[in-house]
Amino acid sequence: MAEILFSSWGGEVVDNRSKEGQDLEPVNTVELPEYFRQDEAVKALMGWYGLVIRDPETDIVDLSRVYMKEIQEKSCGKCFLCRIGTRVMAEILERICSGQGKSQDLGILTRLAESIQESSKCNIGQSGPIPILHALEHFAADFEAAINDKKVVPAGTYHSKLTAPCMDACPIHLDIPTYVECIKEGRFQDSLDVIREKLPLPGVVGRVCVRPCEEHCRRMNLDAPISIKFLKRFVADYELSKGKEPKFAIKPSAKTGKVAVVGAGPGGATCAYHLTRMGHEVTVYERFDEPGGMSAMGIPDYRLPRTILREEVDRIERMGATFNYESSVGKDVKLSQLEADNDAVFIAIGSQLGTTMGVEGEEENYDGYISGVQYLLDINQGRDPYPAGKKVVVVGGGNVAIDCVRCSFRVDKPDVNLVYRRTKNEMPADDVEIHDAEEEKVNFHYLTHPVKILAEAGKVVGLRCVRMELGEPDESGRRRPVPVEGSEFVIDCDIVVPAIGQTQDLSLLEGREDVKTTRWKTIVADEKTKQTDQPKIFSAGDCETGPGALITACAGGRTAAYSIDKMINGESLEYTEDDNFDTFFKKVKVFDQAEDLGFLGGRERKELEMLDPDTRKFTNDEVEQGYSIQEAMIEADRCLRCYRVATVKV
Amino acid sequence: MVTLTIDGKEVTVPQGTTILEAAKGVDIKIPTLCYHERLNPIGSCRMCVVEIEGFTHPMAACTTPVEDGIEVTTNSERLTRIRQDSLKLILVNHPLDCPICDKGGECLLQDLVYDHGIDQVEYTAAKIERDSSYATPLIRYWPDRCIMCLRCVTACQEIKGIGAISIKGDGYGAQVVVVDQDKCQSCGECLQVCPTGALTADLSRYKGRTWLLERVPTTCTYCGCGCQLELNVQNDRVIAVTTQDGVGVNQGSLCVKGRFGYEFINSDERLTTPLIRKNGELQEAGWDEALSLVAEKFSAIKAEFGGGAIGGLTSARCTNEDNYLFQKFMRAAVGTNNVDHCARL
Ligand SMILES: Cc1cc2nc3c(=O)[nH]c(=O)nc-3n(C[C@H](O)[C@H](O)[C@H](O)COP(=O)(O)OP(=O)(O)OC[C@H]3O[C@@H](n4cnc5c(N)ncnc54)[C@H](O)[C@@H]3O)c2cc1C
Ligand code: SF4
Ligand code: SF4
Ligand code: SF4
Ligand code: SF4
Ligand code: SF4
Ligand code: FES
């Protein structure tokens, strides 16, 4: 990597300006990407944490001008110092760059920067002046020269972006600080509008999202993250309880066309929503008789009532999209036909087949051996998958496995076991889910691995297992489990449910070569445009990423919708500014777990009321009870509004 | 309960109390501008910043709940600089309107600028043309006087549950705007909470200086709620209606009638004596003459047709006592049960 000339990122100053060769100090606080996009090398960065300069030609005064202008434009106007103060600062910098600086300007800049930084209401004002203070301290000579020379400072080329730790971590980049603030101010409909700008399924995602945003919430450094997910659910439920039909503004693109969407899961539904909003004629093909994909067939009702899901998808239908249920692409209609009839096809068929464990007895198709996905599908459609069975063993440590065990109680299986080969610490399932399953009294068998399914007269009677211990870490960083010799034992059971993974049924492609697939049987699409090698075909969601999360599928569906719109309008599918910043922020981290905020914390996160574990486990009633208006507003008030701006010089 | 110290004084308050409220309890005055007792803390002015031992950032006392054992300082060089900067920035392009501002003399901004001895402002910014339209013609919005404390927006949303106004625009361009004209009920809640002359009652414009007014507390006569209000009187004319926060059943709120429906009091068209129709023309008469005439006619009707031929209709603008006496009179003296009241709807 090219050397860094100066960095004050994170308050750690590295000044290589007068150093050479071995004396050059490394920068540990940030990794500045070499390129912003293919043809644009990154010369410098100014942002919430400081200043990083690589190219000695960077004009610090001009960079400060552009950055400060951006801060002022992003200031919301809700507190005095930031609203007016950053304007005063921006105008001074503008004046200096136009050759009309005054001697008192630098003093005023420093004083204002300090006051704004110390007392603004949110992070725009609190972080905005930080790099300016660094610049004024370490590059005073440059500013003085600009004032004294009275020459116009030539303007460079920059890219700027507003982000926030939570927003950056959210795959669909929901504007979390704003939708949370709307709740705090009691403007629930406005909050929903902000969410729906990107996501048509707030009630669904507000219940079951894996919430990477909360893991990147800056409030965590003070006490506990904001309950971002449940606040989303709150506004969705509020609207529903008022019986309001949302108004979706349809803004047709210059040119509109016809698009087929394969699969009515979260990915397909989100894509259909955005395309419909842009005025395109959308037809969704879904093989089942109801929408939602894995969120309907996989996720149980006690976590996500299907009425919520159905209503949110039906709204997309009422907006104007056509949904053809019980229409399987590949069987009822050929993909090639859809291609011929439409301007583009979006494939979001999910990852719907269970994978096998590879243990003895699995191929025999004993009664009582049911894949996790099938097991949940049956239960979700109101069937007991195997009424004769009472003792269940589920194998796996992910969310699907937890859903299988918790669902078992709800179809009257009294004895429910989970077998996982590592310990609770390594379990990929959500901690909350594990906790809820523990409360419902699932028997957890950790460090246990299946070896053989035992059967009598074609029926499962037990699962032979072996004890494991943790050895050396593998490539995922988790310690690899190894069998303990001679430790085999049998768990008596009549149902064995492998829930260790899923794979994709790509038969609709009929082996065609123009749509590439990987060896894990996922469809290959461009990471940022979701276009496959066949320009008319786009794909996202689980079938493109492998089994993943709902919000990732929604994000992919949205991206694909915008790409398809561009294609129909004859625009190139070049990466956007947002795409480039996405890549940029993978290196220049927006969230710093070690940040010391300097504020008083201690405001408890409001948790949801839950149904009692001993009764809830036998019903399909929703376990988590949503926030009341008051609770939601108090929780929203904890948000620190961590907006921040980065300006990149190229 | 939580115990903390503020400027060295020990205070014990319930969990959830803000630092500002805790300070009030021990008579420590922290300057505030956007804070209003009837509203959730807004946090826009940053005048109330305080320092807490061990934390690098000053924090707003109005929005920060207390924690056990914290040591709060409400005054320091740094805090004074911040407060002064906050005020100085507000004064950038603030018009020199005080001589003609209806709020002059009881404007919180005036008071704070005075308290902080701000005699010059070294900050400048280009002036922005702003939209002065407002949700109701009864209230005038002066965008250049507006400090964007957001009390008005918050009151309309929180107290009235209406949300007719909001803020729009970015940075220095942000201002209070009407989002839903039709929703506005012209209640004047926004006007009541505005700490400056950015919102004024248009009926009262230039009619009297605040320090020359007499404020007469009274009860609104329009309906049975009985809201408490003050008639602002100058030279025997009512020129405005104001309220005291936290007083009466209305706690400072009014509706459009109570707040703006006072012009009839000094109206030239108002009747000041009874009128009797003589020779086809209404002519002024004395009370004795008028009442005798009514008594005479009533007696005649009663004699001919019985008491049931007479009915009485009274008004919500009378007190309960008046209304009681009225029905008693109708029943006992006139001899009829035909009594009704306009608020019985
Ligand atoms: C049990 C379980 C629990 C989960 N829990 C969570 C959770 O709590 N949080 C979370 O974020 N994620 C969870 N997930 C993952 C999440 O459900 C998926 O990531 C998400 O549904 C993927 O969306 P998708 O649109 O890509 O595919 P899917 O949801 O799988 O939808 C694909 C749709 O395409 C249809 N289809 C398939 N083939 C065809 C065809 N040939 N023709 C027509 N239609 C077709 C399918 O019927 C289905 O409706 C869970 C998954 C499972 C299995
Ligand atoms: S962006 Fe934050 S700091 Fe700036 S005016 Fe709004 S609330 Fe204040
Ligand atoms: S405190 Fe609010 S803005 Fe900050 S990261 Fe958390 S949710 Fe986002
Ligand atoms: S008059 Fe009442 S309803 Fe109208 S904007 Fe003001 S507070 Fe809101
Ligand atoms: S109009 Fe008054 S209350 Fe509203 S923001 Fe302006 S100064 Fe504050
Ligand atoms: S202010 Fe309005 S509500 Fe209150 S008493 Fe008067 S008329 Fe009735
Ligand atoms: S009074 Fe606390 S920020 Fe205004």
Please report the domains of chain B, with CATH numbers, ordered by start residue.
Answer: 2-75 (3.10.20.740), 306-345 (no CATH)
Question: How confident is the model over B215-221, as a mean pLDDT?
Answer: 93
Question: Helix (H, G, I), strand (E, B), or coil: what is residue A512?
Answer: coil
Would you state the structure tokens that stand for residue B23, as one six-digit string? 């300070």
Ligand 4 and B30: CB distance under 6 A: no
Separation of alpha carbons A556 and A542, rounded Å: 9
| Token reading at B76 | 């320091």
Is B49 near ligand 4, meaning CB less than 6 Å away?
no
| A94 has a chain B CB within 8 A of its CB | no
The residues spanned by each domain of chain A are 6-156, 175-247+628-636, 258-352+507-578, 354-503
All residues of chain B having their beta carbon less than 8 Å from the beta carbon of residue A597 are: 57
| CATH class (in words) of the domain with range A354-503 | alpha beta
Interface check for A600 against chain B (CB to CB < 8 A): the answer is yes
* Phi/psi of residue A198, nearest 5 degrees: -120, -35
Question: B123 in contact with A at a CB cutoff of 8 Å?
Answer: yes
The CA distances from residue B228 to A136, B105, B213, B317, in Å, are 57, 23, 18, 14
Q: Which of A79, A186, A598 sits opposite B55 (nearest CB)?
A: A598
Count the neighbouring beta carbons within 10 Å of the beta carbon of residue A498: 27
The average confidence (pLDDT) of chain B is 94
Neighbours of B278 (CB within 10 A): 9
Angle (nearest 5°) at CA A349 between A384 and A255? 140
pTM (predicted TM-score): 0.92
For domain A6-156, say whether CATH 3.30.70.2740 is its number.
no
Across the 650 residues of chain A, what is the mean pLDDT of every consecutive 10-residue run? Answer: 87 93 92 95 97 96 98 97 98 97 96 97 97 98 96 95 98 98 94 97 96 96 96 96 89 97 98 98 96 93 93 96 97 96 98 91 93 93 92 95 94 94 92 93 96 95 95 84 94 95 93 93 96 97 96 98 98 96 97 94 90 86 92 96 98
How many C-beta atoms lie closer than 10 Å to residue A99's C-beta? 13
**Helix (H) or strand (E) segment spanning residue A97:** helix A86-97
**At A585, phi and psi to the nearest 5?**
-75, -5
Cα–Cα distance, B57 to B53 (Å, whole number): 10
> What is the structure's pLDDT at A620?
85
DSSP code of residue A83? I
Residue pairs spanning A and B at CB distance below 8 A = 125
DSSP bridge partners of B71: B5
Query: Given this model, what pLDDT does residue A618 score?
Result: 84
B153 CB burial (10 A radius; 0-12, 13-18, 19+): buried
Candidate from B44, B58, B67 with C-beta closest to A80? B44
> A352 C-alpha vs ligand 1 centroid, how far in Å?
7
What is the largest distance, in Å, between two alpha-carbon atoms of chain A?
96
Q: Which parts of A278-364 fold into alpha helices (H)?
A: 294-297, 306-319, 335-341
- Class (C level, CATH) for A258-352+507-578: alpha beta
Rounded distance, CA A454 to CA A464, Å?
7
Radius of gyration of chain B (CA): 27
Rounded CA-CA distance A259/A276 in Å is: 10
Query: Is B72's C-beta closer than 6 angstroms to any atom of ligand 4?
Result: no
Closest ligand to the CA of B185: 4
SS3 state at B333: helix
Partner residue opposite A119 with nearest CB, options B82, B125, B175: B82
B204: closest CA among B247, B290, B266, B296?
B266
Given a cut of 60, is residue B42 above it in pLDDT?
yes
Residue owning tokens 């078992």: A408
- Nearest CB neighbour to A80, from listed B45, B59, B171: B45
CB A255 within 8 A of CB A568: yes
Give the number of C-alpha atoms closer than 13 A to the C-alpha of residue A140, restricted to the C-beta side: 6
Task: Mention every residue, 6+ apart, whose C-beta is less than 8 A from residue A457.
Answer: none
CA-based nearest residue to A55, from A76, A37, A71, A41: A41
Distance CA B190, CA B151 (A): 7
Chain A CB contacts of B128 under 8 Å are: none
- Using a CB-CB cut-off of 8 Å, the residues of chain A touching B44 are 78-80, 121
Ligand 6 atom nearest residue B225's Cα: 5
Distance B22 CA to ligand 3 centre (A): 28
d(C-alpha A393, C-alpha A415), whole Å: 9
Say if residues A16 and A25 touch (Cβ distance below 8 Å).
Answer: yes
Q: What is the pLDDT of residues B105-152, one digit of tens each?
A: 999 999 999 999 999 999 999 999 999 999 999 999 999 999 999 999
Nearby residues of A628 by Cβ (< 8 Å), 6 or more positions away: none
Q: Which of residues A619 and B343 earns the better pLDDT score?
A: A619
DSSP state of B332: I
Residue B62's region, left for phi above 0, alpha for psi from -120 to 50, else beta, is alpha
d(CA B204, CA B260): 10
Look at residue A146 in the predicted model and tell me its pLDDT.
96
Which long-range contacts (C-beta less than 8 Å, at least 24 apart) are formed by B179-182? B180/B135, B181/B135
- Chain A CB contacts of B126 under 8 Å are 91
What is the distance, to the nearest Å, from the Cα of residue A384 to the centroid of all Cα atoms in its chain?
Answer: 34
| Identical fold between A258-352+507-578 and A354-503 | yes
Measured between alpha carbons, how far is A558 from A576 in angstroms, rounded to an integer? 14
Interface of A with B in 601-620 (CB under 8 A): 602-603
pLDDT of residue A2: 63
> Letter for the amino acid at A466?
V
